[in-house]
Amino acid sequence: MAKIDTVLFDLDGTLIDTNELIISSFLHTLNHFYPDHYKREDVLPFMGPTLQESFDSVDPEKTSEMLLMYRSYNKEHHDVLVKEFDGVYETVRTLQESGYKLGIVTTKMSDIVEKGLKLTKLDEFFDVVVAIDHVELPKPDAEPVLKALELLDSRPESAIMIGDNHHDILGGKNAGVRTAGVAWSSKGKEHLLQFDPDYILESMADLLDIVEGEEG
């Protein structure tokens, strides 16, 4: 297997800590339509799938209304509730300085992706962002990962996908790239291990050892 030269990251829950923003956005939206019905633990399963999928599972007839309310609240509260995970900035900077090709592959809309990257000052490191509005089929389909590889002029056998959710692991596997789950996933490390990632990162800095030592 080829040496890794390309590193693709999910955004939410992987590079930046958006957990509280996502949870509060879901609670605000769902409890507007169904007062006092949803608690924190009820919305955790919605973290990972697309918003469309999540709201369709609640009530397909209200999905468009819920999407509008969620995105409005999410954008309004973004900068207060979002922060980067420990070690992310330093690790990503080191990867870029070492010549690795870097991309974001996410199920977020591109305008919110840009907002999060700028807020955490990570925007300078990524040449390619593939958001949900750039593809027909989101992760776990291979399309977003393959699109990022094409834009970076990279091959699957020399790339790795990093994420906090099984959609990231399965999307990477479906595209033929190596995969790594992050132990700080809101769903827990044990959840990710069920999907057989090639690696589990206990800290983002672990990634440096993997890519620098990986010769196949």
User: Catalytic amino acids?
Assistant: 10
Side-chain-side CA neighbours of 135 within 13 Å: the count stands at 23
- Looking only at the bridges linking them, the beta strands covering 6-9 and 128-130 are unpaired
CA–CA gap between residue 180 and residue 164 (Å, rounded): 9
Q: In whole angstroms, give the CA distance from residue 104 to residue 162.
A: 10
Helices (H), the chain: 19-33, 40-43, 51-58, 63-81, 88-97, 110-119, 143-151, 166-175, 189-193, 206-213
Task: Please tell me the distance from the alpha carbon of residue 73 to that of residue 66, in angstroms, as a whole number.
Answer: 11
**Distance from C-alpha of 5 to C-alpha of 165, rounded to nearest angstrom:** 23
DSSP character string of 36-56: T---HHHHGGGSSS-HHHHHH
